[in-house]
Structure 1
Amino acid sequence: MNFLIFDIESTGLPKEEKDPFHYPEYWPRMVQIAWVLTDGETVRVRENHYIKPEGFVIPQSAIEVHGITNEKAQSEGKPIMDVLSVFSESVVLADVLVGHNVSFDRSIVTSEFARAKQNAPILKLPYHCTMKGSTDVCKLPPKGGRRGYKWPSLSELHHHLFESDFEDAHDALADVDACMRCYLELRKQGLFQELWMKPETKEMKWKKKRFNPYY
Structure 2
Amino acid sequence: MREYLLFVDTETSGIPQDWNKPYSSRDNWPHIAQLAWVVYTRDGQEVKAENHYILSSDYDMSPASATIHGITPEFLREHGKPRHEVMRRLYDDLLQYQPLVVAHFMQLDYHMMGVGFYRAGLDNPVSELPTFCTMLTSARFLQYSTQPKRGLRLNELHQRLFGEPMAREHDALTDAYATARCFFALWQRGDIDEQIIMAQRPLGEPGKTVSRRWRPSLTHFIVVLALAALVALLLLF
TM-score by length of 1: 0.87
**Residue pair 1:128, 1:192 contacting (<8 A) in 2 also:** no
Matches within 5 A, 1:58-97: 58-92=61-95, 93-97=97-101
2:32 maps to 30
- More moved, 116-125 vs 56-65: 116-125
For 1:206 and 1:183, the matched residues in 2 are separated by 30
Relative to structure 1, is the Cα distance of residues 50 and 205 closer, same or farther in structure 2, using a 3 angstrom cutoff? closer
Are residues 1:121 and 2:122 paired?
no
2:181 maps to 181
For 2:193 and 2:104, the matched residues in 1 are separated by 13
Corresponding pairs, count: 206
- Quote how far apart the aligned CAs of 1:206 are: 3.3
For 1:136 and 1:77, the matched residues in 2 are separated by 38
**Residue pair 2:127, 2:204 contacting (<8 A) in 1 also:** no
For 1:99 and 1:193, the matched residues in 2 are separated by 16
Q: Structure 1: which amino acid aligns with 2:125?
A: P
Q: Report the RMSD for the aligned CA atoms in angstroms.
A: 2.4
Are residues 1:154 and 2:154 paired?
yes
Q: Structure 2: which amino acid aligns with 1:72?
A: F
Are residues 1:130 and 2:134 paired?
yes
Task: Please list the CA deviations of residues 67-98 of structure 1 after superposition, one character each: whole Å capped at 9, or x if unmatched.
Answer: 00111111001011100111112212132000
2:17 maps to 15
**Larger radius of gyration, structure 1 or 2?**
2
Q: Structure 2: which amino acid aligns with 1:134?
A: S
Relative to structure 1, is the Cα distance of residues 103 and 24 closer, same or farther in structure 2, using a 3 angstrom cutoff? farther
Task: Please list the CA deviations of residues 12-62 of structure 1 after superposition, one character each: whole Å capped at 9, or x if unmatched.
Answer: 110111254454542111000111000133211101001111211212111
Q: 1:106 aligns with which of 110, 122, 128?
A: 110
TM-score by length of 2: 0.79
Give aligned-pair identity as a percent: 27
2:209 maps to 208
For 1:174 and 1:189, the matched residues in 2 are separated by 23
